[in-house]
Structure 1
Amino acid sequence: MSHASTAIRPLSLLLAALLLAGCEKATAPVEVNVAAINDFHGNLLSNPFSYQDAAAEGGVVKLKAGGIGALSGLVAQLRQQDPELLLIGAGDMIGGSPPISSMWADEPTLDALDLIGLKFTAVGNHELDQGKTELLRQIAGGCESTRPDKACQFDKAYKGTSFPYISANLMDRQTGKPVFQAYRIEQAHGAKIAFVGATLKDVSAYVSAKSMDGLYTVDEADAINALLPELKEQKVDAIVVVIHQGGETPERFDQPDCKQLGGDVVDVVKRLDPLIKVVVSAHTHQGYLCRVGDKLVTQGASFGRLMTHLTLTIDTRKHQLLDVKAENLVVDPQRYSATPEIAALQREVETRSQAQLGQPLARLGARQVQRETNDAGESAMGDLIADAQLAATRALGAQVALMNLGGMRTDLVLEEGQDKVNYGQVASVQPFNNTLNIITLTGAQLRELLEQQWQSGSMGFYPLQPSASLSYRWDAARPKGQHVIADSLTIDGQPVQPDQQYRITVNSFLADGGDNFTVLKTGQRLDTGLNDLEALIVYLQGRDQAGQPAGLVEAGQRIQRVGESLAGSDR
């Protein structure tokens, strides 16, 4: 053997070793970071947020959280740790928004989400508040809108979004196909992740009938599972479901692997293909990091106050998700400062909105009027709005007004040094631009309507908020359909008679049977054309001028519960 051949052998062994090391490195598991937000609802500014903490004074931490500024700062910090971070949305990015966003057709919010690098969002119910045509305009850009007084008023050349909307089960009635892309495949660190979008199947219960024109939904789990063969063909390494449907749990928002998740999303998750291990949920405005079987199900509260941070460990060689870790981060403006681009946009929006939003309207009867319901299901805010709507329609023959919980978006809170509530604060409570409708029902139908407050799934007990003219008692121990104690139901102090007709004021959303109150669709209907927000403003100003400012700290006990307490309920 020559000296040359012996010299070559160590060199060849070294090259082989280096090549093997390179292969091992190439096939080592990778970590992909995902940040998720849900139910942002155009909340460009921070909102009150509280949670239990034994170490805090009084056992509760209270702060203002969220807002696009702090959100942008947190995203920037996460991107410093991982420049390939994927920022995603689980629906309701817009709609049901405070006026600082809604007065501009939510276009500044969409601009801001673009600036912070949102990859996509699922379609939520509130994205459909103005119907399919308007949502498509908001995505594609342009000014041909059903609300020309708002569209393109912030930017005359509104260009739309860079990010798409996705939903596998929101269908076009003409074509029978999804209106939007069913999924998105995103890449990070050499891994391909398929994000499959879905909209809650019963979306029609949460938007007006007009908003569902040309649309229908199919089962969420069925639509998602049907995509798996197509995704496997594309050799994706992991599949994440991003669904605008949710649940509830008594556990803390940051409790890892919580076990007590209930609600509509649980049934969907249980029926998903075993290959799917991660579900980012939304809709119920809850914070949780739960397990349903071997699947992780997360949600990050609402209004951008929490951000869900996921770390996926992926084997790209085997196209397999090995592990996932999750945390819910509080979006604290004291910790996360706005990026320069977002800070500039926010200053412009606030400056241009201030003239209208800062206009003082009226004194209140309390420094805070809250939406949180008492044990019986009644809230101070519900009382206030129902009284305002009845006052606006009494002259047209209305005897009672009823308000839905979902139509009240925030509390009325006077800031330190503030004497009168301003337009922006009142408009934030009722941003949907509904009209007031008077529905004629018999006493028997009214009782049936009140029994519809006990609903299935995540809605649970979903009490309508009554004007002072109506009162009743209820008992949870009674059989379904008999919760309201018959002889306790009165209008203006008189027992409600089954065959007598009564005129009930509700907003146009409820009049269409919204929130599953279908009895309202069966009665004779008069659309008064009166705007719900204007009715509230007129009522507040009238009471102030009369020297009796409206709004109380506690609910007025128009509804009373018999038996077991509902303490702790926020419905």
Structure 2
Amino acid sequence: MALTGRDMKWLNRRRAAGLIAVGTAAVLGLATGGTVTQAAPAKPKPTHTQIQLLAINDFHGNLEAPSGSSGNINGVPAGGAAFLATHLKQMREAAEAKGQDSVTVAAGDLIGASPLLSAAFHDEPTVEALNGMGLEAASVGNHEFDEGWHELLRMQTGGCLPDGDGQNNQNSCPDPKRPFQGAKFKYLSANVFFENTKRTLFKPYTIKTFDDGRKVGFIGMTLENTPNIVTKAGVEGLTFTDEIETANALVPELKKKGVESIVLLLHEGGFPADPKAYNSCPGISGPIVDINKGLDPEIDTIISGHTHQGYNCSLPDSAGQPRLVTSGSSFGRLVTEVRLSISNATGDVDRLNTLANNQIVTRDVPADRRTSELIGKYQTLVAPISNKVIGHLSGTTVSRTPDDSLESPLGNLIADGQLADPSTVTGGKVPVAAFMNPGGIRADLASNAGEVTFGQAFTVQPFNNFLVSMDMTGTQIKALLEQQFSGVNGPEAGKYKVLQVAGITYTWNPAAAAGSKIVPGSVKIAGQPLVDGTSYRIVTNNFLSDGGDGFPAFAAATNKFFGGLDIDAFAKYLTEHDPYTPGATDRISIGS
């Protein structure tokens, strides 16, 4: 897109006055094919009305302020629902003082993979907290399906589960006098359909109509790849459609309803080259880049998520015009504030005068009283579960950080626990090998002066997956091992997904071609060479059992038998090996 001399004079005057919006700055970036950093605030036009849009994504039930590396943004302590609530309130009040309307939205994964404080109560506390924060609309994310789509419907509509009043360390509606009311905000699922129908799980979009008649449409959807990264049972009976095609098909429908300003809430994202540059997006890559290119230019702003990155971009749409693409990191540590500048004459967004800013949710503000009381209530209820000591460590932590072969001490511990768990033994058939997906290991195993509590173990494995034993031939196991380095797990994905193992050893060659990385003759089970035609009993979790994470070899296994929960096997193993001392990472090796 070329800029005329008149354009440059106008831009230079605006720059000199310090009035460049992110959209106008983006025009300069687009002229050279680049992306830009957030610019100085622009002065609102008298012919336009500004609407404040507040957005979060990937909250994952982090009611308490996260700790460690997950609890800061560039070294600034950040997050915590009580502080998030205060920041949102203060930002709305600032907009109101300027006569601006405000809308609060989210881009998925608000629940699921949550800390025990929320997960022990099926994420009901998180929904209650978000209700109190004034959230109005949210796209579904992949983790919204962790407990299945029927449970997700309950998150929307309310009601209690008959879960035995705390059995399996979970308790729906712990206060019988106050049943769960469900989400006051609207879940949106434009690309999630019931099989063989045109009916979506939730409404595909919602329209916010303001007092003066202005309308903003919000389309909400998750990534098309959701079925491959959640348990099969959780999405049984659903189909997930292409993000671009789905959103573009809804644009004419929204315009027929008088909507000119359209925002996409999308649970899919990108990766800036500098992950610390949360208010810009240098060298951004990932699915969001191509999705942005393919989306209808009538879509004015994309609020994204999934990758847990913070970025604030202005990227060219398919017509070459700048379009805001943002993401607010994760765990409630950033709030994205967009100030949509809407023409009073046309009702459409003026992108050259639309602003965006990612604001850190600092902890130097007063904690919101109502949210703090809610958290305190559930802290009391979860304490007997969370504080139970289940074992000890000889050191302070067991690390999930892998060595050069991509094997980790914590991965070995978890796989050992799965292999030793008696709940998966059936008909006298005892598993001889175990496999654990590295993405399911969410944190290092920490301790309090060596003591390990159930709460700390749950932080490591928060999904409540079931263990599944099954028969696989030697040929299938070889195919499984190769799938760690090819397909969706290949180098184009940015990182190999090497399964953590017990009972099996092998060597892989990084220099070999995909499909031939396992060194021939190196695979051994129980110290004996793997035989192609022999059947072996193995154990894994139900997510992998369904072929999740790009491992279809598991889906082809036979004689499957469901055992207990993975967290219970993990906790039991720690109790039976008290104190636990990590061993060498010598199960997977690199060679040629």
Shift of 1:385: 0.7
CA distance in 2, matches of 1:267, 1:320: 24
**Farther-moved stretch of structure 1 (223-232 vs 441-450):** 441-450
Aligned to 1:274: 297
Report the secondary structure of 2:421's partner residue: helix
Counterpart selection for 1:65 from 75, 78, 81: 78
**Corresponding residue for 1:535?**
569
2:279–2:310: 8 Å Cα contact kept in structure 1?
no
Matching of residues 20-35 of structure 1 within 5 Å: 28-35=47-54
Conserved? CA contact 1:402–1:464, under 8 Å? no
Aligned partner (choices 141, 147, 153) of residue 174 of structure 2? 153
SS at match of 2:383: helix
For 2:199 and 2:165, locate their aligned partners in 1 and report how far apart those are by CA, in whole Å. Answer: 30
> Match of 2:347?
319
Distance in 2 (alpha carbons) for counterparts of 1:483 and 1:291: 40
Does the residue aligned with 1:467 lie in a helix, a strand or coil? strand
3-state DSSP of counterpart to 1:515: helix
Question: Do structure 1's residue 403 and structure 2's residue 436 form an aligned pair?
Answer: yes
Give the whole-Å Cα distance in 2 for the aligned partners of 1:436 and 1:291. Answer: 45
**Alignment of 1:353 onto 2:385:** no
Q: Which residue in 2 is equivalent to 1:434?
A: 465
Q: Distance in 2 between matches of 1:440 and 1:82?
A: 61
Partner of residue 19, structure 1: none
1:65 and 1:332 in contact (8 A); partners too = yes
Which range moves more in the overlay, 235-244 or 245-254?
A: 245-254
CA distance in 1: counterparts of 2:251 and 2:113, whole angstroms = 34
User: 1:384–1:550: 8 Å Cα contact kept in structure 2?
Assistant: no
Whether the 8 Å contact between 1:389 and 1:532 is mirrored in structure 2 is yes
Q: Distance in 2 between matches of 1:519 and 1:318?
A: 55
Q: Does 2:518 match 1:505?
A: no
DSSP 3-state at the match of 1:453: helix
1:462, CA displacement in angstroms?
Answer: 4.1
1:224 to 2:247 alignment: yes
Q: 1:43 to 1:505 in 2, by over 3 A?
A: same
User: Is the counterpart of residue 126 in structure 1 residue 143 in structure 2?
Assistant: yes
Displacement, 1:505?
1.3
Task: Kindly provide the amino acid, as one letter, of the partner of residue 34 in structure 1.
Answer: L
Which stretch of the first structure deviates more once superposed, 112-121 or 87-96?
A: 87-96
**Structure 1, residues 325-378: CA drift from partner, whole Å, max 9, x if none?**
333333232x23321111111111111211221112211233223334344333
Q: Which of 526, 537, 548 lines up with 2:560 in the alignment?
A: 526
Normalized against structure 1, the TM-score is what? 0.84
Please give the alpha-carbon distance, in whole angstroms, between the structure 1 residues aligned to 2:454 and 2:282: 43
Is the Cα contact below 8 Å between 2:343 and 2:350 reproduced in 1?
Answer: yes
Answer whether contact 1:383 1:466 (CA < 8 A) is retained: yes
For the 8 Å contact 1:438–1:505, the answer to whether it is kept is yes
Q: CA–CA distance in 2 between the matches of 1:434 and 1:34?
A: 36
- 2:208 and 2:123 mapped to 1: Cα distance? 26
Distance in 1 (alpha carbons) for counterparts of 2:365 and 2:503? 48
Task: Call closer, same or farther: CA 1:134–1:487 in 2, change over 3 Å.
Answer: same
Relative to 1, partners in 2 of residues 1:549 and 1:246: Cα closer, same or farther, differing over 3 Å? same
Q: Aligned match of 1:38 in 30, 41, 57? A: 57
Looking at structure 2, the residues matched to 295 and 381 of structure 1 have their Cα atoms a distance apart, in angstroms, of: 43
Query: What's the secondary structure of 2:252's corresponding residue?
Result: helix
Q: Is the 8 A contact 1:379 1:465 kept in 2?
A: no
> Cα distance 1:302–1:478, how it changes in 2: closer, same or farther (>3 A)?
same
In structure 2, C-alpha distance between the alignment counterparts of 1:301 and 1:65, rounded to whole Å = 11
Q: Secondary structure at the match of 2:113?
A: coil
Conserved? CA contact 2:117–2:382, under 8 Å? yes
The answer to which of 362-371 and 453-462 deviates more is: 453-462
User: What is the CA-CA distance between 1:37 and the residue it aligns to?
Assistant: 1.3
In 1, Cα distance between equivalents of 2:211 and 2:68: 35
Hey, what's the Cα distance between the residues in 1 that align with 2:305 and 2:51?
Answer: 21
Whether 1:452 aligns to 2:480 is: no
State the AA in 1 paired with 2:141: G
Which residue of 322, 330, 347 maps to 2:360? 330
**1:562 CA displacement:** 5.7
What residue in structure 2 maps to residue 7 of structure 1? Answer: none
Q: Give yes or no for contact 1:49–1:62 (8 Å, CA) kept in 2.
A: no
CA 1:272 to 1:147, structure 2 compared with 1: closer, same or farther past 3 Å?
Answer: farther
State the Cα deviation string for residues 65-113 of structure 1 (Å, max 9, x = none).
3221121122122123113332211111112222211111211110100
Number of residue equivalences: 525
Aligned match of 1:104: 121
Note closer, same or farther for the CA distance 1:114–1:391 as it changes in structure 2 (3 Å cut).
same
Residue matched to 1:8: none
1:248 and 1:436 mapped to 2: Cα distance?
33
Amino acid at match of 2:248: N
Shift of 1:115: 0.2
Task: Mark the CA change 1:273 to 1:504 in structure 2 (over 3 Å): closer, same or farther.
Answer: same
Whether contact under 8 Å (2:328, 2:335) holds in the other structure is yes
- Counterpart residue number, 2:191: 169
Q: Which has the larger radius of gyration?
A: 1
**Does structure 1 residue 208 correspond to structure 2 residue 231?**
yes
User: Is there any run of 5+ residues in structure 2 with no aligned partner, and where?
Assistant: 1-43, 317-321
Distance 1:146 1:350 in 2: 20
Match of 2:207 among 175, 181, 185: 185
2: CA distance, partners of 1:197 / 1:168: 6
Q: 1:488 to 1:261 in 2, by over 3 A?
A: farther
Distance 1:408 1:354 in 2: 23
CA distance in 1, matches of 2:233, 2:553: 18
Structure 1: distance between partners of 2:563 and 2:217: 46
Letter in 1 for 2:585: G
- 3-state SS in 2 of match to 1:275: coil
Q: Which moved more, 1:125-134 or 1:450-459?
A: 450-459
- Give the TM-score normalised by structure 2: 0.81
Q: Which residue is equivalent to 2:263? A: 240
Is residue 259–residue 292 contact of structure 1 (8 Å, CA) maintained in 2? Answer: no
1:77 — aligned with what?
90
Deviates more, 1:488-497 or 1:231-240: 488-497
Residues 249/475 of structure 1: CA separation in 2 closer, same or farther (3 Å cut)? farther
The secondary structure found in structure 2 opposite 1:441 is strand
Cα 1:501–1:372 shift into 2, 3 Å:
same
State the Cα deviation string for residues 393-419 of structure 1 (Å, max 9, x = none).
Answer: 59742222111123223332235xx44
After superposition, residues 458-469 of structure 1 pair within 5 angstroms as 459-469=493-503
Partner residue in 1 for 2:415: 386
For 1:298, the equivalent position in structure 2 comes to 326
**Residues 411 and 317 (structure 1), Cα distance of their counterparts in 2 relative to 1, 3 Å cut:** farther
- 1:130 and 1:310 map into 2 onto residues whose CA distance is 32
| Partner of residue 18, structure 2 | none
